[in-house]
């Protein structure tokens, strides 16, 4: 079987080597192998240009190199080819660690101490700490898909109180309280909100002025989902009004975040460059190969719901 591999990841060479190793019986081609386009049945991709997708007329299945599939669904030539998103527990662990680091930063006032270190000032104002015990902090998970559940379960093990939000009625037991369709209560109960929302028409600007105004005055918003789900202008206005409100952002409306963005220098904002759930190559390709074997036996169906857009 001929597999096309294309990525804009900076470690593309490492990916290619690993794909060749694990898919050793298959022919791996790149977008430069134009004569092979018609033979391509499989594609492992991240940010494939639309003009290439258009030419892959025999494509049977697409693997997303990440958990998100918006980079495929947004291509004008994309029709109905089944998509398999990457569901790698190692990515979930990575995202849980990222979320935990940001919660602790908030919980233990570390951002403040880092500021004081910069000006060589010893400030031991212990009474201004956020609750020290994990079980006094409620962490709200916005978007309880594969990664959301993984993060929730890791935090639960550390004794945090975890709740989730889901727009439709929860059909299964998540192991933590789900506020289905009760967004206001979800927002106002959370000390920390971790947004792992995908990018869809419905989620664009989901976290806006109204949403932010319902968050606790002293709280933290972590965005590790997609940048367009958060209205950055509304966030800056909110941050300027609420001195105990913090935000940790890994994804942005425009990436790389433009130098002109006010978010860079806001004292209550932490910025990371879309690294919260970096794909771990070996483990990711292994997952893809396992799915590939199942697919060859006719066992796998896509878990991307085209009608929902994620
Ligand atoms: C992903 C991402 O979709 O890292 O996996 O953004």
Residues with CB under 6 A from ligand 1: 66-68, 277
Residue 88 DSSP label: -
Q: What is the pLDDT of residue 277?
A: 92
Evaluate whether 222 touches 99 at the Cβ level (below 8 Å). Answer: yes
The model's confidence at residue 131, banded by pLDDT at 50, 70 and 90, is: confident
Ligand 1 centroid vs 80 CA: distance in angstroms?
A: 21
Q: What is the pLDDT of residue 126?
A: 74
The ligand 1 atom at the shortest distance from the C-alpha of residue 277 is 4
| Cα distance between residue 243 and residue 83, in whole Å | 43
Q: What is the pLDDT of residue 306?
A: 81
Nearest CA to ligand 1 atom 3: 68
Ligand 1 centroid vs 115 CA: distance in angstroms?
A: 31
pTM above 0.75, yes or no: yes
| Cα distance between residue 182 and residue 184, in whole Å | 6
Residue bearing tokens 């201004």: 128
Percent above pLDDT 70 for the chain: 99
Q: What is the pLDDT of residue 28?
A: 97
Q: pLDDT tens, 214-232?
A: 999 999 999 999 999 999 9
Ligand 1 centroid vs 89 CA: distance in angstroms?
A: 13
Over residues 9-29, mean pLDDT: 96
The ligand 1 atom at the shortest distance from the C-alpha of residue 226 is 6
The ligand 1 atom at the shortest distance from the C-alpha of residue 86 is 5
Burial of 12 (0-12, 13-18, 19+ CB in 10 A): middle
The ligand 1 atom at the shortest distance from the C-alpha of residue 71 is 3
Q: What is the pLDDT of residue 196?
A: 98
Q: pLDDT tens, 284-309?
A: 999 999 989 988 888 867 888 887 88
Of the residues 9, 15, 67, which should be mutated to test ligand 1's pocket, given the most ligand atoms within 8 Å of the CB?
67
DSSP characters for 200-250? Answer: -TTTTT-B-HHHHHTS-SSEEEEE-S-GGGB-HHHHHHHHHH-TTEEEEES
Evaluate whether 42 touches 64 at the Cβ level (below 8 Å). Answer: no
Q: What is the pLDDT of residue 181?
A: 83
Ligand 1 centroid vs 212 CA: distance in angstroms?
A: 24
Ligand 1 centroid vs 68 CA: distance in angstroms?
A: 5
In this predicted structure, the answer to whether residue 130 has a pLDDT above a threshold of 80 is: no
**How many C-beta atoms lie closer than 10 Å to residue 38's C-beta?**
11
Over residues 143-159, mean pLDDT: 97
SS3 category, 294: helix
Ligand 1 centroid vs 203 CA: distance in angstroms?
A: 16
């Amino acid at each position: 079987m001929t597999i096309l591999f294309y990525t804009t990841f900076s470690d593309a060479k490492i990916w290619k080597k690993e794909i060749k190793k694990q898919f050793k019986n298959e022919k791996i081609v790149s977008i430069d192998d134009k004569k092979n386009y018609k033979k391509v049945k499989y594609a492992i991709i991240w940010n494939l240009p639309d003009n290439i997708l258009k030419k892959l007329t025999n494509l049977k299945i697409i693997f997303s190199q990440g958990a998100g599939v918006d980079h495929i669904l947004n291509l004008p030539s994309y029709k109905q080819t089944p998509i398999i998103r990457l569901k790698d527990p190692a990515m979930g662990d990575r995202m849980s660690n990222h979320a935990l680091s940001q919660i602790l930063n908030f919980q233990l006032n570390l951002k403040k101490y880092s500021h004081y270190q910069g000006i060589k000032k010893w400030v031991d104002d212990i009474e201004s700490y956020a609750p020290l015990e994990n079980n006094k902090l409620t962490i709200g998970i916005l978007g309880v898909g594969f990664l959301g559940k993984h993060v929730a379960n890791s935090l639960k093990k550390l004794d945090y109180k975890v709740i989730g939000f889901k727009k439709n009625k929860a059909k299964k037991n998540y192991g933590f309280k789900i506020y289905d369709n009760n967004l206001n209560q979800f927002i106002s109960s959370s000390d920390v909100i971790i947004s792992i929302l995908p990018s869809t028409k419905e989620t664009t600007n989901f976290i806006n002025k109204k949403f932010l105004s319902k968050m606790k005055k002293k709280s933290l918003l972590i965005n590790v989902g997609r940048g367009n789900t958060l209205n950055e202008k509304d966030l800056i206005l909110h941050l300027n009004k609420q001195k105990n409100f913090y935000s940790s952002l890994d994804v942005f409306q425009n990436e790389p975040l433009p130098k002109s963005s006010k978010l860079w220098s806001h004292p209550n904002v932490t910025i990371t460059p879309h690294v919260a759930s970096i794909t771990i190559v070996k483990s990711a390709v292994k997952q893809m190969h396992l799915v590939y074997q199942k697919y060859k036996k006719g066992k796998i169906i896509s878990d991307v719901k085209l009608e929902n857009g994620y």
